[in-house]
Amino acid sequence: MATPIQENLVGSNNAYATNFTQGDLALPPAKKYAVVTCMDARIDPAAAFGINLGDAHVIRNAGAVASDALRSLVISQQLLGTTEILLVKHTGCGMLTFEETDAANMVRQNLGDEGIKAIADGFAGKFLPFPDVEAAVKSDVEWLKQNKAIPEGTKISGWVYEVETGKVKSVQ
């Protein structure tokens, strides 16, 4: 039996597909850029950042962590031709609310030793929280600029999106 979430998917998609007219877009992003942003449910990248369908890659993870996005960024650049990166973290991020040991303890408590082993295998057990959004934007931008998997000359900028106002501001 379908869950309410699944029913929402099917119902909303039926309406969307009925009016869909953009089935002929090219695979590579037309505007040749990638956005790294957080998975936070309060961020609508397309609307808030002016991204039309087919324009850009949007790579999302917990905290808009650059190292977590690296695999997708390399694919975006090397295989699909993007040449600019916008890194957008945000106010009120969940990644500001815990430390490594808190997350590891939750996993141990809820999932046991097998859970601990699985996160070690999956992502070295590193949740990568940060205590300061602007500082984290700066260090992630710097990390990308220094990274040899990102070509020199890539335009990389850092931003903070305010979930309270909908405004984005430049950090670096």
- The sign of the CA dihedral 141, 146, 151, 153 is positive
Query: CA-CA distance, 85 to 87, in Å (whole number)?
Result: 6
Query: CA-CA distance, 119 to 105, in Å (whole number)?
Result: 12
Region 41-100 residues binding Zn ion, contact defined as CB under 5 A: 93
Select the residue interacting with Zn ion from 34, 36, 38, 87 (CB under 5 A).
38
Count of Cβ atoms closer than 10 Å to residue 9 Cβ: 12
| Region of 1-9, 17-25, 36-44, 74-82 interacting with Zn ion (CB under 5 A) | 36-44
Residue closer to Zn ion, measured from CB, 130 or 143: 130
> 57: annotated binding-site residue?
no
- DSSP assignment of 3-46, as one string? -HHHHHHHHHHHHHHHT---TT--SS-TT-EEEEEE--TT--HH
Residue closer to Zn ion, measured from CB, 29 or 58: 58
> 90: annotated binding-site residue?
yes
> 55: annotated binding-site residue?
no
Site for Zn ion contains 40 (CB under 5 A)? yes
Residue closer to Zn ion, measured from CB, 29 or 171: 171
Annotated binding site for Zn(2+): 38, 40, 90, 93
Q: Which residues bind Zn ion (CB under 5 A)?
A: 38, 40, 93
